[in-house]
Chains A and B, each alone.
Chain A
Amino acid sequence: MANAMEIYQLLPKTNCKKCGKSSCMAFAAALLSREKNLDECTPMLEEKKYSENYTKLKGLVSPAEQASETGMIVHEDRCIGCGNCVVACPVNVAEDPKGAGSGNAPTNERVILKVEDGIVRLSNVEDCRRFGENKRLCSGCIVTCPTKAIEFV
């Protein structure tokens, strides 16, 4: 994922405020936190001279747009379905101590991470510790992944 500066460099830098932000830099930051999406910068969409930068930006920010509400991205091509994240996730452990928390198949639907057809799948993302009002920094699923298939943006 790009940083705010890289994104800013590709924006029109006119600070026209059409996106609802006070400046292009503020819009760049909003893109990163997924508060805004790229198409809200209407000049980029409409004016031809920006079209090349628009394509570049689309490539930069699209991984973030695909992320779940927690900002979690699973690189499916990298995931080997080892289940390390499934057993390490504290929410999985709390919700299903005998199943997912003990390294076995999940035994209920309240888990966040599970492996389907050999690849990790997300559900109940609103229960992820990184989500919501009382969000906490949790990296259970990141540090245990041997292939770095899970990323937060």
Chain B
Amino acid sequence: MERKYHVCTGCALLCDDIELREVENKTIIDSACRKGAAWIKNCQHPLECTVDAKDTTTQDAIEKAAEILKNAKNPLIFGMGNSSLTAQEKAIELAKKTNACIDDTSSFCQGPFVEAILNDKIKSCTLDEVRDKADVIVYWGCDPSNSHPRHLSKYSYFPRGKMRQRGWEEDRTAIAIDVRKSDTAIICEDDFHQIPPKADAEFAHALTDALSGKVPKVTFGMKPKEILELANVLKKAEFGVIFAGLGLVYSIPDISPMEKLLEVLNKKTDFHLMPMVGQYNMRGFNHTLFDQTGYINRVSFEGDDIGHGPQYSVVEVLKGEKVDAALIIGSDPLSSLPGSIAANLKEIPTIVIDPCKTFTSQTANVTLPAAVTGVECKGEAIRMDGVKVTLKQMRKSDKMTDADIVEKIMEAI
């Protein structure tokens, strides 16, 4: 029997082996993790179509959204991590048309790594290569067991792969570096190395030293022997990969310690780094914007001019009150940004496009419900490793896609 697989958009792992079965009028979701199954079953509180908190028609809400954006001098367009590639392209087009700042969550999370990969400054690889070849896997500042539940089972540690036929016990070494013993660290057992908060850069330097034949030293009481032994394991890898999590990104001022570490590792062996992107198509947004502007985020359009830099990040433009309206697509800045900065968002007219209610949607002037891509409509996305994936539709829905909504807003402007 030919099997029909769907793709889960519950996280950026985009698992492509999900099956749906009808049993007694109920749909059973096979092989998705609990997080994915919940995502596919859809949100508890679907977003309604509103203007100023009153229910209205889609047409009305779209016109109101267009009016807000038209009247704004400097709107902000933010989010798109949970949008299809087409929706992202349209959002960028809209940003050009409205002289907007456009940014996504990557500007305060995985952006630096994605940027370095797109500019060929860091060697990365695909998840399929990890499954087929990786023998040394480092989870650094991340806990995929919770954030990307099938990461270890589908790609990074447990599965048999082309060159790793004997299974995880014999063929692979999983290492965790973290400030706490996470669920993933528990699986790594003796290969868990605990470091204090904010010590990631220091630890990366120590590893670089150890790999360069120097005696590694750290100020936090880890013995040089432990660092030397770890360096030895890394050095002996045939194909190594570091999965970089938010714990790592947040603790280093810039990514140079990791660039250096990878540089020395690649003098001795074949080592890669992959950022643990959360939202299913955050990397897609970075790629799309990069293709059009050469930058992955924090871009400001003004006529034909493209501005870029930290001053255009969502945090800075809200902090400095530099934007006078906001279009938020598939993101919840009120819950993810620091309160004082998020508060400024409440001061300006805001439009939210999302399948579900969020904190941000509760104070928005216009809310437009969108279909969940990969569940209620089809589309395309870029997986956390940069591979393009086609998303099928799982069930019928009369909701509009976010791409169509943005298109309609553009037409109305």
Contacts and interface: CB of A to CB of B under 8 A. Distances in A.
A80 B30 CA distance: 14
A144 B187 CA distance: 6
Interface stretch (A13-21, A50-58, A99-107): A99-107
A88 B158 contact: yes
B30 A83 contact: no
B187 A86 contact: no
Interface in B243-283: none
Interface in B55-104: none
A119 interface: yes
Contacts of B32: 81, 115, 118
Interface string B210-224: 000000000000000
A147 interface: yes
A47 interface: no
A88 B34 contact: no
Contact of B161 (A84, A102, A114): A102
A86 B153 contact: yes
Interface in B30-65: 30-38
Contact of B29 (A80, A83, A118): A118
Contacts of A84: 152-153, 158, 187
A118 B35 contact: yes
B34 A107 contact: no
B168 interface: yes
Contact of B34 (A81, A103, A144): A81
Interface string B147-158: 001101111001
Interface in A100-131: 101-107, 114-119
A146 B186 contact: yes
B244 to A, nearest CB: 20
B196 interface: no
Contacts of B187: 84, 144, 146
Contacts of A114: 30-31
A30 interface: no
B266 to A, nearest CB: 27
A28 interface: no
A128 to B, nearest CB: 18
B193 interface: no
A87 B153 contact: yes
Interface of B: 3, 5, 17-19, 28-38, 131, 145-146, 149-150, 152-155, 158-161, 167-168, 183-184, 186-187
Q: Which 10 A-B pairs have the closest CB atoms?
A: A103-B159, A118-B37, A118-B34, A146-B183, A83-B153, A81-B33, A105-B17, A105-B31, A146-B145, A103-B154
19 contacts: A80-B145, A83-B31, A83-B33, A84-B152, A84-B153, A87-B154, A88-B153, A88-B158, A101-B160, A104-B31, A105-B5, A114-B30, A117-B28, A118-B33, A119-B34, A144-B187, A146-B145, A146-B186, A147-B183
